[in-house]
Amino acid sequence: MKKLIRKISRKQFDSILNKRATEDLDFIKAADDFFIKKRGYSFKQPKSGSKAILLLSGGIDSTVAWATLIEVYGYKVYPVILDRGSNKRAKKELAAVRFLEKYFAKRYPDNYVKPFHLTVNTIAKEFKDTVNPKNVLAEDILANFNQNKWFVKDESNVVLARTKGISPYLMPFYGVVYSDYLKFTQGIDIKNIFVGANFTDGSEVSSQSFTALRSTLLGICTATANYDWNFSSVFLERETGILLEKGGTVELGMKLGIPLEKTWSCYNSSIFQCGDACATCVSRKDAFAQIGAKDKTIYISDIKNRIVGSFKFHLKQLINFFS
């Protein structure tokens, strides 16, 4: 099963990282050198049968990461969801998770652990008071995203001005919180924490670059004064030679037979995902197009296009009839 993920050499990995502005090879080398001196390795892939915590959102990446950790690596995975309560997008993500819970429980009965909901308010009240998401149109979000201005996304994954996505950087630290919870309540000690960030994410949000991932590992170890922690992304790790773009994540999910159409990426909270008015839907659709795969997700934009197309066709037929 491990052959499902193609690996590249360290030289290739560094060469690819060196081409984008969100990476800092000097920091990566310094951090890895520090870890090697401190404990003999920077990141070590846990053995099959190990326990691992996964930050789960209900989107494509974390869902495929969940399946990969179980099916490819043979881990018992303890997913944790940062439950943001009344946030509208969060409710759609949680609805996706509820479906996935049943799916994973049935498919992986031996390694399935029900996702734990950790109640977290990841966005400062002062920020929400300053920027009211109700006043921010989805079209503005997409325009700012495309222009790399990083103004506003939404409450669940805010990107404002120079912050460039602080929240995604902070979220893995809640994996440590969940680890402590498991230790205190069940006597389970888990030091392996994973996220589902892919290479494409790090090009769009600097807090999900490989540099930031390695910085997070360093931060977790120094903040807890414990160097037993293992933290990385399932799809982006220099030590294992894994570097997947969004399309690669989608392709892996399809090979594993995961119902990707049931995951939720959209920043909006309509009955269906928008498809063209938010950054994550655009990225999602591009990923399927990248690998030439059929996207079974229902998008509002596709419905609108079909309706408009049908209207134009019948109007043309009507005009031809009377001309």
Quick one: average pLDDT of 136-164? 48
Domain 2-265 indexed as CATH 3.40.50.620: yes
Residue 171 confidence class, pLDDT cut points 50, 70, 90: confident
CB atoms within 10 A of CB 309: 10
Decide which of 128 and 166 is more confident: 166
Q: What is the pTM of this model?
A: 0.84
Q: What are the tokens at 59?
A: 């989107």
Lowest mean pLDDT among 258-267, 279-288, 301-310: 301-310
Domain boundaries, the chain: 2-265
The pLDDT of residue 129 is above 80:
no
Question: Is pLDDT at 97 greater than 60 in this prediction?
Answer: yes
Of 68-77, 86-95, 184-193, 302-311, the least confident: 302-311
Amino acid occupying residue 3 = K
Mean per-residue pLDDT of the chain: 84
Res 21 pLDDT > 80: yes
The predicted-structure confidence for 212-221, as pLDDT tens digits, reads as follows 999 999 999 9
Kindly state the tokens that stand for 211. 């540099």
Picking from 245, 280, 212, 237, the residue whose alpha carbon sits closest to that of residue 58 is: 280
Task: Work out the pLDDT band at 170, boundaries 50, 70, 90.
Answer: confident
- pLDDT at 32 (0 to 100): 97
pLDDT at 186: 95
Assign 150 a pLDDT band (cuts: 50, 70, 90): very low
Share of the chain above pLDDT 70, in %: 77
Confidence of residue 152 (pLDDT cuts 50, 70, 90): very low
Q: What pLDDT, on the 0 to 100 scale, is given for residue 123? A: 63
Handedness of CA 142, 145, 146, 149 (dihedral sign): positive
Is 86's pLDDT higher than 80? no
**pLDDT higher at 234 or 280:** 234
Q: Rounded distance, CA 121 to CA 59, Å?
A: 19
Strand partners, 242: 7, 237
CA distance 303 to 282: 16
- Please state which of the ranges 137-146, 169-178, 241-250, 287-296 shows the lowest mean pLDDT: 137-146
HEC assignment per residue over the chain: CHHHCCECCHHHHHHHHCCCCCCCHHHHHHHHHHHHHHHCCCCCCCCCCCEEEEEECCCHHHHHHHHHHHHCCCCEEEEEEEECCCCHHHHHHHHHHHHHHHHHHHHCCCCCCCCEEEECCCCCHHHHHHCCHHHCCHHHHHHHHHCCCCCCCCCCCCCCHHHCCHHHHHCCHHHHHHHHHHHHHHCCCCCEEEECCCHHHHHHCHHHCHHHHHHHHHHHHHHHCCCCCEEEECCEECCCCEECCHHHHHHHHHHCCCCHHHCCCCCCCCCCECCCCCHHHHHHHHHHHHCCCCCCCCEHHHHHHHHHHHHHHHHHHHHHHHC
Residue 118 φ/ψ, nearest 5 degrees: -100, 115
pLDDT reading at 142 higher than 90: no
Cα–Cα–Cα angle for 72, 76, 80, nearest 5°? 110
**pLDDT tens profile 182-210:** 999 999 999 999 999 999 988 877 888 99
Per-residue pLDDT averaged across 130-144, rounded?
Answer: 55
Q: Looking at the predicted structure, is the pLDDT value of residue 68 above 70?
A: yes
Q: Bigger pLDDT: 310 or 17?
A: 17
